[in-house]
Structure 1
Amino acid sequence: MLELSLELVLMLVAAAFVAGVIDAIAGGGGLITLPVLMLAGVPPAQALATNKVQGAFGAATAAIGYAASGLVDLRRQWKPALLAGLGGMAGAALITQIPTEGLRILLPVILIGIAAFFALKPGLDDLDRTQRLTPAIFALTAAPLIGFYDGLVGPGAGSFYMIAFISLAGYGVLKATAHTKLLNFASNIGGLLAFALIGQPLWLLGLVMGVAQIGGAILGTRLATRIGARLIKPLLVVTSTLLALRLIWQLI
């Protein structure tokens, strides 16, 4: 059984708080918490599973906060959330059977493309734009596919949800962020259900970090709601770029 010192636990709690703030605004909180869990000596499979436990708290808090602000109608979004959750469950269940090395090589390129999209594309603000997919088609395609990726690989899922909501559903940046948190929470829970069987998460540590995630998510949601695209866009560019660099470093 893994034993962690008080100093390591406090480091993990601090990382979870910071991740909660960043994840609520732009996604990418796993960029902070997953490496710190493994740095603390948690085995990779348990680190992935524990990361899902604590991440679910932050995503749920952010989703509730955005819904309370009127940015998400939970009654209209339960179907895409359910499909994202099923996708996350399927991805996590198949994690040992599907080779992901090719995807890990391609992913940094995709993330750099996402960073460039948000950095360079003009007119990205909080106003809605042209809708390219109906809500039903979006729910049947983008939601479960990105959810599957979230369960299978994880890093960057929030960025993929964001760009899908903006490019396909026609949402403004703040509205896309709010809906991303709901689907991210759903695919997190789906992945967690599968990981609970195969990854043996450290439940107590995940719950302690989850409390810190709640505090961070509350702060991040309030900042994003007040400032909107002026805060979300730069953080998306930074988190996507850092995640791409981290993945490239792992491949070297």
Structure 2
Amino acid sequence: MDLILVLIAAFGAGLIDAMVGGGGLVQLPALFAFYPNVAPPVLLGTNKFAGIFGTASAVWRYAQRVAIPWRALMPLALYVLLASVGGAVLATRVAPEVFRPLVPIMLAAVLVYTVWHKNLGAGHAPRAFSGQHHLVGALAVTAIGFYDGFFGPGTGSLLMLVFVRCYGFDFLHAAASARVLNVAANGAALFYFASRGFVLWYIGAAMAFCNIAGAIAGTRLALRGGSALVRKVFIGVVSLLIVRTAWVAFAE
């Protein structure tokens, strides 16, 4: 029964993550709740293993309908990849729970900024991957990559905001590009966790299948609804993530 509930969570995580990110805050708590006796690094590694398949399938679906600036994204993907490895190494030495109180605060800032700027991400007017705004964007995605390797939940939402704010993307194109960086970050962290034996392969494989199914459904909804729908879902999901992470950090 526990595995069935975890698989349901994996499907929901794949759907949400494909649209706006944040799937880890559905999938990871489910793993911690139903496998309390398993070491946290093992659960983090299993979460990465399941999630990377859903994220990769979302990238494949988006690439068929949305223009993704592959060449410009490659340097950012490298920054994220290297930072994610550093975060994963730290996660095996320091309990991620130490930084839990920071997550709802960070997400609250994202929500306020997005709601306050009503036209943010409404139109797609991409800016060059150069100049001061690119430096800010590169530093931001590097920091987010480190966070993704260390803890992870909410990474996709944070990356989306970087593409919208720094590079002038609308929410649909930001969702597609953010998933590319997600694959890089998850892949790097997964490689480290797997090399240390920190993956439950049989559970992760079943979760990966459900994550892919959820991601396919999520990208279909995003492509059908466009940037306007993705923005609404983004605001809704970030709001729920704030409540969830604040409860975990301060109430439990």
Name 2:87's counterpart in structure 1.
Answer: 91
Provide closer, same or farther for how the CA distance between residues 113 and 137 of structure 1 changes in structure 2, counting only shifts above 3 A. closer
Cα distance, 1:38–1:124 mapped onto 2, change above 3 Å: same
Structure 1 range deviating more: 103-112 or 125-134:
125-134
Contact conserved, 1:48 with 1:199, CA < 8 A, in 2?
no
SS in 2 for 1:171: coil
Residues 145-167 of structure 1: CA deviation (Å, up to 9, x unaligned): 21111111212211110111111
| Contact 1:155/1:243 (<8 A) preserved | no
Q: Which residue of 2 aligns with 1:40?
A: 34
Match of 1:206 among 204, 207, 214: 204
Q: How does 1:60-75 map to 2 (within 5 A)?
A: 60-75=56-71
Q: In the alignment, is the contact (CA less than 8 A) between 2:171 and 2:228 conserved in 1?
A: no
Name the stretch that deviates more: 109-118 or 56-65: 109-118
CA RMSD of aligned residues (A): 2.3
Q: 1:138 to 1:183 in 2, by over 3 A?
A: farther
Q: Is the 8 A contact 1:23 1:29 kept in 2?
A: yes
Q: What is the identity, as a one-letter code, of the residue corresponding to 2:91?
A: I
Q: Where in structure 1 are there 5+ consecutive unaligned residues? A: 1-6
Q: 1:140 to 1:225 in 2, by over 3 A?
A: same
In the other structure, the counterpart of 2:166 is 168
Of 68, 73, 91, the residue aligned with 1:77 is 73
Aligned: 1:21 with 2:15: yes
**Counterpart amino acid of residue 232 in structure 2:** P
CA distance in 2, matches of 1:134, 1:176: 17
Tell whether 2:116 aligns with 1:120.
yes
Q: 1:207-222 counterparts in 2 under 5 A?
A: 207-222=205-220
TM-score, normalized by length of structure 2? 0.88
Distance 1:200 1:226 in 2: 38
Shift of the 209–109 alpha-carbon distance from structure 1 to 2, 3 Å rule, reads same
Distance (Å, rounded) in 2 between the aligned partners of 1:139 and 1:114: 15
Q: 1:4 matched to which residue of 2?
A: none
- The alignment partner of 2:102 has SS state of helix
* CA shift for structure 1 position 31: 1.1
Q: Deviations over 1:37-67 (max 9, x none)?
A: 1121252222111100001011101111111
Q: Tell me, which stretches of 5 or more residues in structure 2 are unaligned?
A: none
- What number of residue pairs does the alignment pair up? 246
Moved more, 74-83 or 156-165: 74-83
Question: Is residue 10 of structure 1 aligned with residue 8 of structure 2?
Answer: no
Q: CA separation in 1, counterparts of 2:43 and 2:237?
A: 20
In the alignment, residue 230 of structure 1 is paired with which amino acid? Answer: A
Q: How far apart are the structure 2 equivalents of 1:204 and 1:138?
A: 40
SS of 1:116's equivalent in the other structure is helix
Offset of residue 204 of structure 1: 1.5
Residues 87, 151 of structure 1: 8 Å contact kept: yes
Q: Counterparts of 2:3 and 2:237 in 1: how far apart (Å)?
A: 24
Contact 1:91–1:150 (CA under 8 A) maintained in structure 2: yes
1:87 aligned partner, one-letter code: A
Distance 1:251 1:138, change over 3 A: closer
Contact 2:19 2:219 in 1 (8 A): yes
User: What residue identity is the alignment partner of 2:68?
Assistant: V
